[in-house]
Amino acid sequence: KAGVTQTPRYLIKTRGQQVTLSCSPISGHRSVSWYQQTPGQGLQFLFEYFSETQRNKGNFPGRFSGRQFSNSRSEMNVSTLELGDSALYLCASSHLGPSGNTIYFGEGSWLTVV
């Protein structure tokens, strides 16, 4: 069973540009969530999607947005990039099973804003 796949793995953008990151969850998982990891703030929750609907949202400005498609694949977009948006962006998919709501992470997308 393939894991959570994130693309691109590495990218460099300029301040003011926008970026789109993609995430393909584990087959059969309908919940996808996104996290931002920085040295200063640690791992912070961005948003969660389930069946194409945003269920939860973290405390990030409106420049951060996302969506989920009917095949459960998800994208997140950051507009008007700032230097502080440089981070590792992690996507996770989860499924409520006998062992509980276990969450699986992708390898992440490393974004550098210059």
CA distance 84 to 15: 10
Contacts (CB under 8 A) with other proteins, residues 28-47? 33, 35, 37, 42-45
Spatial separation of the C-alpha atoms in residues 5 and 2, rounded to whole Å: 8
Count of other CB atoms within 10 angstroms of residue 102 = 12
Considering only 12-20, 65-73, 76-84, 98-106, which stretch makes contact with other proteins by CB under 8 A? 98-106
Task: Tell me whether residue 15 or residue 38 sits nearer to other proteins (CB atom).
Answer: 38
55 binds other proteins (CB under 8 A): yes
Q: Is 35 helix (H, G, I), strand (E, B) or coil?
A: strand
Within 10 A of 66 (CB to CB), how many other CB atoms are there? 22
| Of residues 72 and 94, the one with the C-beta less far from other proteins | 94
Binding site for other proteins (CB under 8 A): 33, 35, 37, 42-45, 48, 55-56, 58, 88, 90, 92, 99-108, 110
